[in-house]
Amino acid sequence: MSSRYDQALGIKGEIAALKRERVISAAVDLFYERGYDNTTLDAVAEQLGVTKPFIYSHFGSKAELLAEICSRGINSSQAALDSVLVLPDSPTEKLALICARFVSAVLESQKHIAIFAREAKNLNDEDLKRISTQRRKFDRALTKLLDEGVAAGEFSIGDTHFAALAIQGMISWAYVWYRPDGRLSMTELSDQMAELVLRLVGTAPKS
Amino acid sequence: MSSRYDQALGIKGEIAALKRERVISAAVDLFYERGYDNTTLDAVAEQLGVTKPFIYSHFGSKAELLAEICSRGINSSQAALDSVLVLPDSPTEKLALICARFVSAVLESQKHIAIFAREAKNLNDEDLKRISTQRRKFDRALTKLLDEGVAAGEFSIGDTHFAALAIQGMISWAYVWYRPDGRLSMTELSDQMAELVLRLVGTAPKS
């Protein structure tokens, strides 16, 4: 059982994380609407009704805030992938589940991905390098799963790395066309995408 | 037979088109490297070794030049689609050919598409609206071909509009990862993409 001191620290940590998320969320809205260059940290502070030192207590600079936002899309996609790869399921089941969760990750990070596409040139070299490394890690993990599916006789793919890039494109591109008030719900969209991906990797079509 | 006067006019028109292309090409390089905001028309003129009035004789403003560049990706994709839709081939053959040509269009417009993704916010409302209309036209034409394939019993797709978006994503996303010095040639890449797309729409796999 945790002491009252530990509990207080826990609450403090949670509040700090919550505040940090509020800063990110306000910055996402402003960077998305006005662009990175046209948004000052003063404007972010004003949007939140806080002072600029409050922002600085969470992020050292505007560029650091941008790096956090630009990392969100790939980080949540990687988390979706990791959460499935540990399961004891077959490659086919894993791939279907990864697609569904990857779709959710993309749609929930829609603005973050748009900001990354627009503003990557404003990232520090180090941050850009880190994000590129993350993306290659995701590539490799998805390719490995496709290789496992081929080895298990479940998938029929000539070039698994190419197929991994095609799958990422199908799903990532949704950030361009998805509208929250659109014809398909997020669940329908995830299910349909998973079905198309299973076809693409050459599993037998559902009868 | 054309008169000498007509010939002179024809050459004049070709030279004007060539000069216009040179302006676009220089602007693409600069917008891509430095960003739209950080590129002046003076810099474009300097890059070409011409005067600013020379640029103005082809484009009324920097925004007009941006609109032309941002239209290139969708225009060349539409041209690829149109060139195939007139053929007497089956939906399966047409789709394979469209994919191959669409891949080429995307890869040849790689920087133009990147500039559109980054700088769309700098487009005039009218230009942005025109490009969005173009994109919807492409969507509809591709969806219609999928519908024809379903009606002909060649494709098996539940939601053809969704499949059209997935196909566009697979192919368009190549602008993110394609490197001219990469492992696959443009032809190999086009062929592989077409194969994956045919699987995705539920045609029988090659035996």
At A173-198, the pLDDT tens digits run: 999 999 999 999 999 999 999 999 99
Among chain B residues, CA nearest to A132: B177
B1-60 is a CATH 3.20.20.70 domain? no
Query: B173 and chain A: CB distance < 8 Å anywhere?
Result: yes
Structure-block tokens of residue B152 = 């002909």
Query: B85 and chain A: CB distance < 8 Å anywhere?
Result: no
Query: Min CA distance, A10 vs chain B (Å)?
Result: 41
State the best of A111, A173, A185 to mutate against chain B, taking most chain B CBs within 10 Å: A173
**Which among B158, B168, B199 is the nearest to A202, CB-wise?**
B199
DSSP run (H or E) holding A38: none
Q: What is the pLDDT of residue B41?
A: 95
Residue A207, pLDDT > 60, answer no
Mean pLDDT of the residues in chain A = 92
Give the integer Cα–Cα distance in Å for B14 and B173.
34
B120-133 confidence digits (pLDDT tens): 999 999 999 999 99
Give the integer Cα–Cα distance in Å for A61 and A42.
12
Structure-block tokens of residue A92 = 């086919």
CA A40 to chain centre: 25
Q: What is the pLDDT of residue B207?
A: 44
Give the integer Cα–Cα distance in Å for B206 and A66.
46
* Torsion angle (degrees, nearest 10) of CA B170, B92, B199, A110: 20
Give the integer Cα–Cα distance in Å for A150 and B35.
43
Give the integer Cα–Cα distance in Å for A42 and B17.
47
Give the integer Cα–Cα distance in Å for A37 and A29.
14
| A142 within 8 A of A149, measured Cβ to Cβ | no
- Other C-beta atoms closer than 10 Å to the C-beta of A196 total 25
Q: What is the pLDDT of residue B204?
A: 60
| A115 within 8 A of A70, measured Cβ to Cβ | yes
**Residue A11 — very low, low, confident or very high, per pLDDT cuts 50/70/90?**
confident
Using a CB-CB distance cutoff of 8 angstroms, which residues of chain B are in contact with residue A184?
Answer: 159, 162
| ipTM of the prediction | 0.89
Residue B105: closest CA among B78, B135, B133, B87: B78
Q: Tell me where in chain B the CATH 1.10.357.10 domain(s) lie.
A: 61-207
In one-letter notation, the amino acid at residue B60 is G
The residue-averaged pLDDT of A4-12 equals: 75
Do B169 and A189 count as a contact with CB atoms less than 8 A apart?
A: no
Among chain A residues, CA nearest to B177: A165
Among chain B residues, CA nearest to A139: B177
Query: B140 and chain A: CB distance < 8 Å anywhere?
Result: no
Residue A77: closest CA among A167, A205, A181, A187: A167
Query: Min CA distance, B53 vs chain A (Å)?
Result: 29
Give the integer Cα–Cα distance in Å for A28 and A113.
10
Among chain A residues, CA nearest to B113: A117
Q: Tell me where in chain B the CATH 1.10.10.60 domain(s) lie.
A: 1-60
Query: B182 and chain A: CB distance < 8 Å anywhere?
Result: no
Structure-block tokens of residue A135 = 């993306």
Cβ partners under 8 Å of residue B175, min gap 6: B73, B106, B107, B109, B110, B113, B114, B117
| B152 within 8 A of B181, measured Cβ to Cβ | no
**Which among B119, B173, B199 is the nearest to A199, CB-wise?**
B199
Q: What is the pLDDT of residue B3?
A: 67
Query: Min CA distance, A203 vs chain B (Å)?
Result: 10
Do B121 and A121 count as a contact with CB atoms less than 8 A apart?
A: no
Q: What is the pLDDT of residue A2?
A: 56
Three-state secondary structure string covering chain B? CCCHHHHHHHHHHHHHHHHHHHHHHHHHHHHHHHCCCCCCHHHHHHHHCCCHHHHHCCCCCHHHHHHHHHHHHHHHHHHHHHHHHCCCCCHHHHHHHHHHHHHHHHHHCHHHHHHHHHHHHHCCHHHHHHHHHHHHHHHHHHHHHHHHHHHCCCCCCCCHHHHHHHHHHHHHCHHHHCCCCCCCCHHHHHHHHHHHHHHHCCCCCCC
The residue-averaged pLDDT of A51-69 equals: 94
| B150 within 8 A of B157, measured Cβ to Cβ | yes
| A108 within 8 A of A51, measured Cβ to Cβ | no
A78-107 confidence digits (pLDDT tens): 999 999 999 999 999 999 999 999 999 999
Q: What is the pLDDT of residue A75?
A: 95
In one-letter notation, the amino acid at residue B129 is K
A120-152 confidence digits (pLDDT tens): 999 999 999 999 999 999 999 999 999 999 999
How do the residues of chain A divide into helix, strand and coil, expressed in percent and rounded to 5?
Answer: 75, 0, 25
Cβ partners under 8 Å of residue A144, min gap 6: none
Give the integer Cα–Cα distance in Å for B67 and A50.
39
Burial environment of residue A141 by CB neighbours within 10 A (0 to 12, 13 to 18, 19 or more): middle
Tens digit of pLDDT at every position of chain B (207 positions): 556 766 767 888 888 889 999 999 999 999 999 999 999 999 999 999 999 999 999 999 999 999 999 999 999 999 999 999 999 999 999 999 999 999 999 999 999 999 999 999 999 999 999 999 999 999 999 999 999 999 999 999 999 999 999 999 999 999 999 999 999 999 999 999 999 999 999 986 544
**Residue A10 — very low, low, confident or very high, per pLDDT cuts 50/70/90?**
confident
The residue-averaged pLDDT of A58-65 equals: 94
What fold characterizes domain B61-207?
Tetracycline Repressor; domain 2 (1.10.357)
Residue/partner pairs of B129-132 with CB below 8 Å, 24 or more apart? B130/B67, B130/B71, B131/B67, B131/B70, B131/B71, B131/B74
**Residue A17 — very low, low, confident or very high, per pLDDT cuts 50/70/90?**
confident
Query: B24 and chain A: CB distance < 8 Å anywhere?
Result: no
Task: Return residues 32-51 of A near B (CB < 8 Å).
Answer: 35, 37
Structure-block tokens of residue B17 = 């088109």
CATH number of A63-207: 1.10.357.10
Using a CB-CB distance cutoff of 8 angstroms, which residues of chain A are in contact with residue B171?
Answer: 169
- Other C-beta atoms closer than 10 Å to the C-beta of A17 total 11
